[in-house]
Copies of this chain bind each other. A is one copy, B any other.
Amino acid sequence: MPVVGMVGGGQLARMTQQAAIGLGVPLRVLAASPRDSAALVCADVRIGEHTSLADLRSFAKGCDAITFDHEHVPSAHIQALEAAGVACRPSSAALLHAQDKLVMRERLSAAGAPCPAFAPVDPRDPLAAVEAFAAEHGLPVVLKATTGGYDGKGVWILESLGADDRRLVESLSGEGLSLMVEQYVPFRRELAALVARSPYGQGAAYPVVETVQRDGICHEVLAPAPGLDEELAAEAQRLALDIAERLDLVGLLAVELFETGGSAAPGGLLVNELAMRPHNSGHWTIEGARTSQFEQHLRAVLNLPLGSTEPTARYTVMANVLGGDDPDIYPRYLHVMAHDPAVKVHFYGKEVRPGRKIGHVTALGDDLAETRERARHAADYLRWGPAMGPATKERA
């Protein structure tokens, strides 16, 4: 069996290991520490830095293909591996579009994919660039770091361009951060279209899901997106397959989308971000689809025929579990299992810290409201215990 190397030892690599065990594919992980989420559960772990070309080179030796748990490996390093003959999947050329938001916007807009208006921010006069953009497109505007952001980090909404906003732009730019500015899109909700593409060019699309964010962090995923217009769902899948094809992508592609339009009118789609790896919006597929996104990613990376994306239930709801104040989660774990024997709990082996993603739960069912409540109860209880959290109190 070919060996797959995954750079990064987070929960995505951890869950990829579960799929690799089933497929019989040996998975090697490059982790920063033996306490990393995936390092705790893999047999073949190399300790090293994803920012070190030497570590990457030594890691790649003996791997038949290399893939990534995150977007933070410098593009130049991936190019150097490619030049040395390492099969990097996705390639540096494709991955760049998930690493640099400006590159992504330029490429996608040129290809006619629906994107919000955007502009680069010239570091020599950042304020002038933002003001000119706001004059053309109106306020608020969205300021983004072109690289390095995740989970809401690296994104700022500028409401007024008043003194505070102006200071923020100048200070961020002064720190050397590469910035861009985008139109603020009033959206109805956020969707995600997850597809896979293999080197042969085979593509496979999962049902389009709704992602519910809170404070920039994905809290819930509803699969399929409830009430989504069939045409729009098909358009989202086509759009994601088309982007994968144009970028000659190998592996998974998650396209985060805004569904625009009022509550009555039919909506439209705008691309928000791209991810080229297993994605939080696809965790529901472990139980909710015939082939999990983790297995699908491995199949794509190895140029194996892709698996069926057929859903296994009418509705699947995934809720992220965030750390609460009490690090001793085990008693709460027992409660959740006793309360709902059919809810599936996934823990990432991470130390509990307030607000940190430490796992997720999945519920499946025929009734969306009930399924959603089951997932939310489990996630809230794991975080807060019997006191439950503000969200639950709000609902009560």
Interface residues of A in 18-63 (CB under 8 A from B): 18, 20-24, 26, 39-43, 45
A213, CB-defined interface residue at 8 Å: no
| Identical copies of this chain, number | 2
Within 8 A of B (CB), among A344-386: 344-349, 359, 364
A330 contact set on B, CB distance < 8 A: 1-2
CB interface residues, A 202-220, toward B, < 8 Å: 204
Q: How far is the CA of A92 from the CA of B81 in the complex (A)?
A: 54
Contact of A304 among B306, B307, B333, B347 (CB under 8 A): B333
Q: Which chain A residues numbered 295 to 346 have a C-beta less than 8 Å away from chain B?
A: 299, 304-308, 310, 312-313, 330, 333-334, 337-338, 341-342, 344-346
A contact residues, total (Cβ < 8 Å): 46
**CB distance B305 to A23 under 8 Å?**
no
Contact A21 B41 (CB under 8 A): yes
- Hey, which chain B residues are within 8 Å of A348, CB to CB? 24
Find out whether the CB atom of B337 lies under 8 angstroms from the CB atom of A22.
no
Chain B CB within 8 A of A91 CB: no
- A279 interface hit (Cβ, 8 Å): no
Residue in B closest to A304 when the chains form the complex, CB atoms: B337
- In the complex, A290 has a CB within 8 A of chain B: yes
Residue among B43, B308, B345 making CB contact with A23, cutoff 8 Å: B345
**Residue with the greatest number of chain B CB neighbours at <10 A, chosen from A21, A40, A291:** A21
Q: Is A15 an interface residue (CB 8 A)?
A: yes
**Taking the nearest CB of chain B, how far is it from the CB of A341, in angstroms?**
4
Asked if A305 and B349 make an inter-chain contact with CB atoms under 8 angstroms apart, the answer reads no
Answer whether A21 and B26 are a contact pair too, CB < 8 Å, given A304-B333, A304-B337: no
In the bound complex, what is the Cα–Cα distance between A39 and B290 (angstroms)? Answer: 27
A290 touches B342 (CB 8 A): yes
For the complex, is A17 an interface residue (Cβ under 8 Å from B)? yes
- By the criterion CB–CB under 8 Å, are B45 and A337 in contact? no
Closest-by-CB residue of B relative to A309 is B341
